Amino acid sequence: MKAIVYTSQTGFTKRYAELLSEATGVPAWSAKEAAKQVPAHSEIFYMGCLVAGAVKGLDTAIERYVIRGVAIVGMNPTGNGDLWTEAKINGGFSDHGARIFYLRGGYAPEKLPGPYKLMMAPMTKAVTGHPPKDENEAAMQEAFRHGGDWVDEGALAPVLAWLEGS
């Protein structure tokens, strides 16, 4: 694998990419940096934040590189998004054959760019506009109101195990 390439909206995916880079010795580049540093058609591991059910920047990365694995970084404790659903159907792999992982990152509403703040406002209202049904829902409501950070180096264990075996 030539590189770890990532797209990070508020820094959580970047932190995971840096942790993975430290653990593997494989350089981590933002997608913008990678366009200059990583040759086209190189084998990479892609990490991207979940935005509206899709992995930010993945389509562009698929056009440029050979994607061997993908880490989806989101705030849901159990994982979500279209690619995650596809991977669960395909035994952990995308339709393109890449191994898919989910990492719980975080939510930092104060770091969101303007358009994303507008996009998240109705979602925040929907999530927080009723009494929580259980402890997990209460935690998600708190995260939508004030943010949350769940980046955990230990969460990379399945990724590292897969990289060692591939």
| 6-58 pLDDT tens trace | 999 889 999 999 999 999 999 999 999 999 999 999 999 999 988 878 889 99
pTM (2 decimals)? Answer: 0.85
Q: Which residue has the higher pLDDT, 115 or 158?
A: 158
Determine the average pLDDT of the residues in 85-107.
84
List, in order, residues 6 or more apart from 122 with CB less than 8 Å away: none
Determine the average pLDDT of the residues in 127-148.
87
Name the percent of the chain lying above pLDDT 70: 100
Determine the average pLDDT of the residues in 128-157.
90
The predicted pLDDT at position 39 comes to 97
* CA–CA dist 136, 148 (Å, integer): 13
Angle between helix 12-24 and 157-165 (nearest 10): 40
Q: Is the pLDDT of residue 164 over 80?
A: yes
* CA–CA dist 153, 30 (Å, integer): 19
